[in-house]
Amino acid sequence: MDLKEAIYKRQSIRNYDKSPLDAETLNELRRFIDNAKVLNPNIEWSYDIVGPEKFRMLQRFKSPHCLLIFSESKENYLQNIGFIFQQADLYLQSRGIGSCWIGAGSPKNYENPNPEQDFVIMMIFGKPHGEIYRELSQFERKIICEISDERDSRLMPARYAPSAANTQTWYFTHDDGGSYNLYRNRKRLRLNKKMEAWNQIDMGIALAHMYVANPDTFEFRLDKPHEELKNKVFEGSFTI
């Protein structure tokens, strides 16, 4: 299965076989991440693959591996991390390896080797215990009219993207020039700072799906002139 097909099959996996993946599989993952497309080349980021002794999470489920993800905290770094590591999520799932973004987690007994970069988020992964894929009908997602100003089937890859607590706070508009604008719905009361950060990661995740579905034509711009929409934050524009 290729990455594009995985968009329509993947699901967050929370039940893992305890046995670790072999060293070659982990090296292939490293090679994939090191060559993934980035959204903003001005931002330094890094990651480490660690075992269960080096991370903790709020929930009870266990996984044999975890990607700890670090970045400089500048510009659109949350989007950038979502964009890069959603490609890793699709890569893992396309190879039959389960994965799940984990916001409610952190490194444990781990010394950050690079003080210029902060821990941002993590992703657990490993051999799934049970079925890894699901059918299209099993995705719980908003209908296209709720996330776009036009009923546009080209936005389907973004519609199926995963998001923190499945909040799907993305909204797309169409420009006369043929480009798309991406906005993030903002709650008027900003009660949860963590959720706001995760939702910015979600924006990068949705953009990653648009890139993977249109790898030869996808282009992103953060600074394009755009219309301001009420209770929405402009997150950039793209062509496909």
Q: Which residues bind ligand FMN (CB under 6 A)?
A: 11-12, 14, 59, 100-104, 162-166, 198, 201-202, 205
DSSP 130-169: S-----GGG-----HHHHBSS--GGGHHHHT---GGG---
Of 117 and 168, which CB lies nearer to ligand FMN in the complex structure? 168
123 with 101: CB under 8 angstroms? yes
Token pair, residue 95, equals 């190879």
CB of 230 to ligand FMN, least distance (A): 25
Shortest-Cβ-distance residue relative to ligand FMN: 162
Token pair, residue 1, equals 């299965």
CB of 178 to ligand FMN, least distance (A): 29
Of 138 and 153, which CB lies nearer to ligand FMN in the complex structure? 138
Q: What's the rounded Cα separation, in Å, for the pair 228 and 118?
A: 31
Of 195 and 222, which CB lies nearer to ligand FMN in the complex structure? 195
Of 131 and 219, which CB lies nearer to ligand FMN in the complex structure? 131
Number of Cβ within 10 Å of residue 183's Cβ equals: 24
Q: What is the CA radius of gyration of the chain?
A: 17
CB of 211 to ligand FMN, least distance (A): 16
CB of 231 to ligand FMN, least distance (A): 21
